[in-house]
Amino acid sequence: MKKLTAILLTVLMLLSALAVFSACGEEKVEVEPGPLGRYTPAVRVTYTLPFIGGYEASALDKMGYSVDETPWTEQIKNDLGVKLINEWAVTDNSAYLAKLVSSITIGRIPDIVNLLYGEDYAYAYAKSLHENDLTLDITSLIDEYASDKLKESIEVAGDEIFYPATFDGGIYAMPQITLGAAARETVWWIRKDWLDAVGKKAPTDWDSLVDVLTAFRNSDPDGNGEEDTYGLATALNSEHYDRMLFGSLGAYPYMWRDDGRGNLVYGSVQPEMKQALAKIADLYARGLIYEDLTGMSYTAFMDNKAGMIRGTTLYIKAFENLCKREGVEFLPLKAFSLTEKNGIAVLQGDSNAFRFWVVAKTCKYPEVLIKLFNHYIETAEAAKEDEELYNKLFTDVAGLSPVTTSWLKSDGSMGNNDLIEAIEQRDNSSLRTASDRMLYDNVLKYLDGGDRAFYSDYLVYGKGGSNEAFYTYDFDDNFTVNKYCYSKTLTMIDKEAALHALEYEYFAGIITGEKTVDEFDIFVTEWKKQGGDQITAEVNEWYHSVNA
């Protein structure tokens, strides 16, 4: 008995010694307070990064970096005290997704995982990771660690950015917040030389628009003596509607909107859609719209046959050959309402979420994900004033940042007017990036030297250009985004293609005069009966779950 007691005492002493040794050997990590609080000593966090390869790899070779040691990981370690370890060194999407599927299967993922682009990926993989109990609800992390700028971005972008990864009342992925409006059609491009030729001013409402388009059609704006011009080049085909034209008329096809009572309704079957179709049909009947609606609007504008077209801020760059012609002048107009006097159009926009990141339940420092977003915003802002920092992180190796996001400001802007002011003052000393200085030079080549090769740069970046119109647009109040951002419901999979075909049949028929406007009511009845009502029920079941 005494012998057994002695053995047990020896074992306990050994265990105690090991515990002391372990405690002494593990360094205590101190964390500075705040959204960019630094860890000392540096903590190790594993992550994933798609798209290692191509120009980034060659740039890394030249700079003496590797996949595990990049300018971004170096900057993050210095600033945050976080040593990032890339667990999946892959060169294409297929290999990356194979890694993701394999990790879900074995039940172990890196600390931070990029779910690639788009809401469909986010929903499918975020849901699978959540159902396998691999990811963390980050709601409290956002509340506690997001910087003021990140929180402002979230507020401007809207709660729907989290919908694709909202399960059981929790948020299970952080989105790249982006200005979906950057890819939206927000500018009417109109021929200023045609306006001058017919003695009209730029339109600002429905009546003046009809007046201008009528003049473009009937008053020979191109001066060739023939009645061969049209007012508006637009498109309506089975895959694309002119969202800007419909939005300017207060109608929103192909999208789900909140009705103000907490339910989603499908824009294409709402009363305002009937009213918009009636107005567009009237333009078509008068010959004011280019007659081929199946996607030829681009060609009509490029071939000098139409005087007005909708587009993005950069859309004019697609018409370089036309821009280079002497005498051709354009005017970018900020989207205006066609339903009220002096109103701003509320346009249909894209989601403000682009891709998503999840954090593993096993991650020792899960707040690092939110800090990386804070850090990216601050670094991007600093790089605007620091050319060395910009060249280090935002040129060849920009794609190697572990996360990316934007700072969406509550005043409706996401940038500044430095370039416009520099051009106006003929002083580029405030411009910190090579790209801005190049654009500055290009615009002055047109303004001061008359070089038509750079006229399109002036139209976009100069005073009164499309960028200025875009940045003064009130993104928060004047864009409406699709509130349904999940995968297709069961009825959608079965019925949606047929319903879209039905929609196109009626809408195209109404606009071209083959059907009466009142037949819109028949379309709505058929849409509901052929699966629309069931889809609406399924969509709202999901919508209520994420807003519970």
* Residue predicted with more confidence, 416 or 531: 531
Using 50, 70 and 90 to split pLDDT, how confident is the model at 5?
Answer: very low
Is residue 249 domain-resident? Answer: yes
Helix axes 71-80, 368-383, angle to 10 degrees: 110
Using 50, 70 and 90 to split pLDDT, how confident is the model at 411?
Answer: low
What are 189's strand-pairing partners? 309, 332
Is residue 478 domain-resident? Answer: no
Using CB atoms within 10 Å of the CB of residue 322, give its burial: 0 to 12 exposed, 13 to 18 middle, 19+ buried.
Answer: middle
Is residue 145 domain-resident? Answer: yes
- CA distance linking residue 372 with residue 302, whole number of Å: 45
> Same domain for 200 and 329?
yes
> Same domain for 61 and 127?
yes
Domain C-terminal end among 432, 447, 472? 472
Q: What is the pLDDT of residue 23?
A: 35
Using 50, 70 and 90 to split pLDDT, how confident is the model at 474?
Answer: low
- Is the Cβ–Cβ distance between 125 and 100 less than 8 Å? yes
Is a pLDDT exceeding 50 seen at residue 492? yes
Using 50, 70 and 90 to split pLDDT, how confident is the model at 16?
Answer: very low
> Same domain for 149 and 45?
yes
Is a pLDDT exceeding 60 seen at residue 225? yes
Using CB atoms within 10 Å of the CB of residue 224, give its burial: 0 to 12 exposed, 13 to 18 middle, 19+ buried.
Answer: exposed
Q: What is the pLDDT of residue 199?
A: 97
Q: What is the pLDDT of residue 374?
A: 98
- CA distance linking residue 123 with residue 115, whole number of Å: 9
> Same domain for 330 and 207?
yes
Domain C-terminal end among 472, 500, 518? 472
> Same domain for 169 and 48?
yes
Dig out the tokens for 400 from the structure.
């190697």
Most confident by average pLDDT, 89-93, 288-292, 367-371, 500-504 = 367-371
- Within 10 Å of residue 430's Cβ, how many Cβ atoms? 15
Residues contacting 372, CB < 8 A, separation 6+: 76, 80, 82, 112, 402, 403
What are 353's strand-pairing partners? 177
- CA distance linking residue 88 with residue 114, whole number of Å: 11
Is residue 111 domain-resident? Answer: yes
Is residue 411 domain-resident? Answer: no
Q: What is the pLDDT of residue 25?
A: 44
Most confident by average pLDDT, 78-82, 99-103, 236-240 = 78-82
Is a pLDDT exceeding 80 seen at residue 153? yes
Is residue 66 domain-resident? Answer: yes
* Residue predicted with more confidence, 96 or 413: 96
Q: For residue range 333-361, list pLDDT tens digits in order.
A: 988 999 987 788 888 877 788 889 999 99
> Same domain for 220 and 305?
yes
Q: What is the pLDDT of residue 416?
A: 52
> Same domain for 430 and 377?
no
Is a pLDDT exceeding 60 seen at residue 415? no
Is residue 479 domain-resident? Answer: no
What are 45's strand-pairing partners? 84
Mean pLDDT for the stretch of residues 512-527: 97
> Same domain for 393 and 530?
no
Mean pLDDT for the stretch of residues 190-202: 97
> Same domain for 312 and 454?
no
> Same domain for 129 and 149?
yes
Mean pLDDT for the stretch of residues 538-543: 94
DSSP 47-67: EE-S---HHHHHHHHHHT--S
Instruction: Give the 3-state secondary structure of residue 407.
Output: coil
Using CB atoms within 10 Å of the CB of residue 249, give its burial: 0 to 12 exposed, 13 to 18 middle, 19+ buried.
Answer: buried
Mean pLDDT (the chain, rounded): 87
Residues contacting 530, CB < 8 A, separation 6+: 495, 498, 499, 502
> Same domain for 223 and 267?
yes
> Same domain for 201 and 56?
no
Q: What is the pLDDT of residue 394?
A: 86
Mean pLDDT for the stretch of residues 214-229: 94
Q: What is the pLDDT of residue 44?
A: 97
Report the percentage of the chain scoring pLDDT > 90: 59
Q: What is the pLDDT of residue 14?
A: 41
The closest alpha carbon to 447, from 433, 436, 457, 434, belongs to 457
Q: How many residues does the chain have?
A: 548
Q: Rounded to whole angstroms, what are the CA distances from 116 to 9, 380, 539?
A: 56, 21, 24
Split into its structural domains, the chain has a count of 3
Q: What is the pLDDT of residue 120?
A: 66
Q: What is the pLDDT of residue 436?
A: 84
Q: What is the pLDDT of residue 384?
A: 79
Q: What is the pLDDT of residue 239?
A: 61
Using 50, 70 and 90 to split pLDDT, how confident is the model at 6?
Answer: very low
Q: What is the pLDDT of residue 7?
A: 42
Q: What is the pLDDT of residue 441?
A: 96
Is a pLDDT exceeding 80 seen at residue 362? yes
Residues contacting 277, CB < 8 A, separation 6+: 251, 507, 510, 511, 517, 520
Q: What is the CA radius of gyration of the chain?
A: 28
CATH code, domain carrying 323: 3.40.190.10
Is residue 65 domain-resident? Answer: yes
Q: What is the pLDDT of residue 467?
A: 85
Instruction: Give the 3-state secondary structure of residue 304.
Output: coil
Range of the domain at 58: 30-180+351-400
